[in-house]
Amino acid sequence: FADGSRLLGSQRPGYGTLQRDADKSRMVGPRALPQGGGHAREGLAQKPHEVTGYQTKTWRVALCHACSVLTAGLLLILFHWKPSLEVQAKCKPCALGQADWVIIRDRFGQCFTTRVRTEALGEGSLEHHPGARLEDRRTSIAISVSDEEESRDTIRLHEKEETNILRYYLFEGMRYIWIERRQAYCKVSALDEGWTCADLHLSQAGLDQQDHNTRRKIYGPNVIEVPVKSYARLLVEEVLNPFYIFQVFSIVLWVCDTYYYYAACIFLISTISLGLSLYETRKQSITLRNMAKMSVGVRVRRPNGEEMVVSSADLVPGDCISLPADGMLVPCDAALLTGECMVNESMLTGESVPVMKTPLPAGGQAAGTVYSPEEHRRHTLFCGTQVIQAKSYVGREVLAVVTRTGFCTAKGDLISSILYPKPVSFKFYKDAVKFVLFLAVLAFIGTLYSILILVKNQVPVEQIIIRALDLVTVVVPPALPAAMTVGTIYAQNRLKKRGIFCISPPRINLCGKIRLVCFDKTGTLTEEGLDVWGVVPLENNHFMPIIHEPRCLPAGPLLYSLAACHTVSLLRAQPIGDPVDLKMVESTGWRLEMTEEEEGELPAFQQFGTKVLAVMKPPPEEEQPRDRKHQSPVGILRRFPFSSSLQRMSVLVKLPGEASAHVYIKGAPEMVASLCRKETVPVDFSQMLRHYTTDGFRVLGLACKPLSTVTTFEEALQLPRDSAESSLTFLGFLVMKNVLKPESAPVIHLLRNANIRPVMVTGDNMLTAVNVAKSCRMVEPKERVIFVNASPPSHDKPAALKFILAEHSQGEEQLEGLYQRDGCCLQPQPCHFALNGKSFAVVCEHFADLLPKILIRATVFARMSPDQKTQLVCSLQELNYCVGMCGDGANDCGALKAADVGISLSEAEASVASPFTSRVANIECVPTVIR
């Protein structure tokens, strides 16, 4: 591509500008296109497709109508089977900017057609970013304008007598708008890609009515429409299927040949199969429409300070909405600006544990980062999720800014993946077509032979025709599609009786082809809840023996970190939150009290010298050990919630009578140790960690530090996360017991006996994962485990790959007894590779040639992020494995959707996270689905 700086402009990307993206696969539209070019390849968030423009010609349309009449409607049937042929016949190729129809070829090679729509925008404007000042706003149209001083992308839509025309088309529910300077159609969500966290905070004032109306036209209504076809239309579409047309022809032929009983039987089977198929299809469409349909009243802010209640269908990106304290169903994707929310995301993830959402960072370096719903997941309210409780800070409302609407939202993406799934490339279907074609050739040869014989024997012409065609219907089985449809529907109902629900029936046929199944660990192979086994404290920088009762700890940083470092909240006086957090708090005996705006503010303020979010109070004196009496409570100022990518969470707390605050952090031990000052981490850190993880315990690291710069609630809100989580003092380990589900080992043994390979993919520690793999017989006692340790290149060393026998390794960080890549000589006896997320990333990038060889032997993948789980599933599919994935749906959504057969263990009847959902929360469902 040529340099695009003139096209893109050098200014800070803002609302409505299209920015250059470093990742080529996410680049929206081409940078430049030769004049009059009719093609544009769009790389749109994993769904790149090629678009070709066509312009309708009246004489061509008239000619097609005439040909349809002359061929007795056969041409119309052909057009129904191949819509792209109809567009090519009735229209002439043209530049995309003038097209009334487009043909879209998606990444799977499938062709679709859609009409280009136009809409007058009138006099409207859009500011450059959500919070632009009123005087900065342009009065000329456009999502951005281009003049001599500034060169920006624009939707310069066609200027016909001073009226601005918006050109767009709808594809798979998504709206694509024409950008003149790009000479391409871009997904409408591309207009918001330049927002930074600071920009979003500027939009608290809200949008004025004119801006809102213009955006409403550009973005369209905030609805996720699921088309539900009538029975008549479904019947016509099904009957026009080539197989059914052949079936009708066969039945007519048999009736002519007086095969009444056979014709009646086939007719009956086909009618029942057709009826069942139509009923199931329509029922699923209605269920999906009811799931997607959402209309709620939302309070929206306007710049003059007033608030108005509008329908959720009228929301547009940039609107500032106010969340009620008792919660609501979220009708769009929105970034939380003020306050804290407890959100139930089970609709999207299948995870029933409520999630704490905190405000988007407003100060420091983090405010300048570009907003990303995935990266800022813990600050984003997703469409379709339920806010259980919203709490405001400093007497203000809980505010959020709308970032995505309609099919661009997380819920829209999931509904889209159900409505338009990736085509199932099932070898059986391809072989079935080859088989039918082979039979057709046989039938043709047989027909020619029988015609010759019959003519020789001077049989009447009518009889010759009937006999010859009859041979075709005998050789090619007309009842095949009916039998397959009935078989799939019965299989679906049998699964339903066993508590397994399927939202993608074509995948049922794939289940028997599975040769490898990936399992998540926590909640899938092991029990969901963890029990606290004990705490390993430090004294003089040395580990002390484990203390099994945390409430026996003396008052100090270690006890306070256990009592306060969590995201537990109260809902109707009941503590809710992550099961690990709940067990940890329960083990200390401390109680949580939320400070209410009205009642609890004053005593807490007097006690801590500032407002606090919540107070952790020690247990009553009679419940405390005699030698340990804790009097002082702990006030929580701010929480940085757990993030899979950061592998940690932290809180800012204040003790009564102390001027400055403290930060407490808990997370993956290796991550916490890397953030601590080296002198505070014991020298035997790795050995102690290995001691517990090898026995299958889940271990969390704890650390703290005083923050002299933070003394008040307001200062705590301004503190950037990265400055809080650095130069810490290591406190010790929290050790938790994770029990294997009783069903796990027998199922894994059954799969291995059937030559189906089990693989574990977890976010947990490597040694814990290996221990669980051995406990559930994924790795048999006599089989060896080899750690694959890959390190990225540094300034003086190239990327290195080492293979270490598990019994030689001295823990995850210091690995000894190395086998270098060049001189590596692996034993011929059965062995299993185990690697973590960091090594997996390095192997993918620097040792791509070795990746297939490693994947064929790898059984344990630890410390894997959600994205890496998806990448692993796709890599295994590239090795021609038919991959199953079984997880609890929390952070496995991407992998469950990417797998050929994804099974989510969820109480919801149909988790949209995966094609299959099992109500029984153990892996016994896997053999059932395969059978």
- Alpha carbons within 13 angstroms on the beta-carbon side of residue 197 total 22
**Mode of pairing for the β-strands spanning 757-761 and 858-862:** parallel
The residue behind tokens 């009228």 is 314
Q: Dig out the tokens for 908 from the structure.
A: 């919801």
Are the CB atoms for 676 and 726 separated by under 8 Å? no
Q: State the DSSP code for 36.
A: T
* DSSP β-bridge partners for residue 767: none
Candidates 28, 379, 323, 54; CA nearest to 189 is: 28
* DSSP β-bridge partners for residue 438: none
- Alpha carbons within 13 angstroms on the beta-carbon side of residue 96 total 32
User: In whole angstroms, what is the distance from residue 534 CA to residue 462 CA?
Assistant: 90
- Edge-first strand order for the sheet with 333-336 is 307-311, 297-301, 320-323, 398-404, 333-336, 380-381
DSSP code per residue over 167-202: EEEEETTEEEEEETTTTEEEEGGGGGTT-BHHHHHH
Candidates 529, 528, 580, 537; CA nearest to 557 is: 537
Find the radius of gyration of the CA atoms of the chain: 32
Three-state DSSP at 625 gives: coil
Three-state DSSP at 195 gives: coil
The CA distances from residue 72 to 53, 69, 78, 240, 730, in Å, are 30, 5, 12, 15, 83
Q: Dig out the tokens for 714 from the structure.
A: 């307001």
Phi, psi torsion values for 340, nearest 5 degrees? -125, 145
The CA-based angle 484-754-921, given to 5 degrees, is: 80
Helices (H), 162-309: 197-202, 209-219, 231-239, 242-256, 260-292
Three-state DSSP at 911 gives: coil
- Beta-sheet strands, E only, within 418-502: 500-502
**Mode of pairing for the β-strands spanning 784-791 and 174-179:** unpaired
The CA distances from residue 287 to 300, 405, 513, 619, in Å, are 30, 21, 29, 49
Please indicate whether residue 520 is annotated as part of the active site. yes
The residue behind tokens 């500011």 is 127
User: In whole angstroms, what is the distance from residue 621 CA to residue 193 CA?
Assistant: 55
Phi, psi torsion values for 393, nearest 5 degrees? -105, 145
* DSSP β-bridge partners for residue 370: 196
User: In whole angstroms, what is the distance from residue 767 CA to residue 118 CA?
Assistant: 60
For 177, counting Cβ atoms within 10 Å of its Cβ (0-12 exposed, 13-18 middle, 19+ buried), the class is buried
Q: Dig out the tokens for 688 from the structure.
A: 């102690």
Three-state DSSP at 318 gives: coil
Query: Among 413, 520, 764, 900, which one carries the catalytic annotation?
Result: 520
Candidates 344, 372, 346; CA nearest to 356 is: 344
Q: State the DSSP code for 630.
A: -
Are the CB atoms for 666 and 672 separated by under 8 Å? yes
For 577, counting Cβ atoms within 10 Å of its Cβ (0-12 exposed, 13-18 middle, 19+ buried), the class is buried
Q: Dig out the tokens for 516 from the structure.
A: 């490898």
Q: Dig out the tokens for 278 from the structure.
A: 């139509």
| Gap between the terminal Cα atoms of the chain | 51
Q: Dig out the tokens for 126 from the structure.
A: 């859009």
Catalytic center residues: 520
